[in-house]
Amino acid sequence: MSKPNTVSITCPDCGTPFEMEQWNVIHAQKQPELREKIMNGSMFLQTCPHCGTRVLAAYTCIYSNDEKKFLVSFQPSDKEPAATPFVPDYKLRLEHTLLGFFERIRILECGLDDLTLEMVRYLVTAQLSRQFPEKHITHLLFDNADNENVFFQYDSNNPSEQIQIPLATIWRYEDQLTHSGFRPNIKGYITANDKFVQESGILNCLIPKKQS
Ligand SMILES: [Zn+2]
């Protein structure tokens, strides 16, 4: 089991220095309490013992789930992770924002294929912004999935405003992707975002194959 580092931070409100634990490596199976904090988004929040102010202290963190075989690295700076761990068959993902880190983990914890989801998100976002230009939809944030649908937020000011995409649709795209034989030409970590969808060639799986 990984151990935390203890570091000192200063409360931005009252100036009191206090110590916090930093967990740079989290194993979902071994540390269910930390997994829970990731899932509810409270992972990097600290409370000042003097004035009670909640302080967001983000730091480099790797989250792995050995049952679902994925590993998500959070790097607050644009730096690449120091090394790609040797974990065959794992999905390796890199995120530079906390929002993205939590979201990526939620997607993969739901057992969804996140590259398929990224492609669907890209296509649906483009369609929605054409259909409803007045709503200024630029990004869909994955919220959750149940047995039938995947739910996305499209307005950060109104998280309860959601659109749902049937799981059956996601699976159909996943099928197409699998049958296309698409392999991202990236060794190590993938940052799955719009840029990835545009540049990786993943959209080619949607082009009908010519009969030869
Ligand atoms: Zn304080």
Chain segment 116-143, per-residue pLDDT in tens? 999 999 999 999 999 999 988 989 999 9
Binned at pLDDT 50, 70 and 90, residue 79 comes out as confident
Model confidence at 211, pLDDT cuts 50, 70, 90, reads low
Cα separation, 174 vs 209, in Å, equals 16
Single residue among 93, 111, 129 that ends a domain in this structure: 111
Please give the distance, rounded to the nearest whole angstrom, from the Cα atom of residue 8 to the centre of ligand 1: 13
Q: Say yes or no: 63 and 153 in one domain.
A: no
Provide the phi-psi class of 52: left if phi over 0, else alpha when psi is between -120 and 50, else beta: left
Of 185 and 79, the one with more pLDDT: 185
pLDDT tens digits, residue range 28-45?
999 999 999 999 989 999
Domain limits for position 172: 113-212
36 and 99 share a domain? yes
Structure tokens at 81: 């992770």
Q: Please say whether the beta carbons of 164 and 125 come within 8 A.
A: no
Looking at the fold, whether 75 and 153 belong to one and the same domain comes out as no
6 alpha carbon – ligand 1 mean position (Å): 18
Amino acid at 103: E
CA 53 – ligand 1 centroid, Å? 5
pTM, entire model: 0.92
- Residue 100 binned pLDDT confidence (cut-offs 50, 70, 90): very high
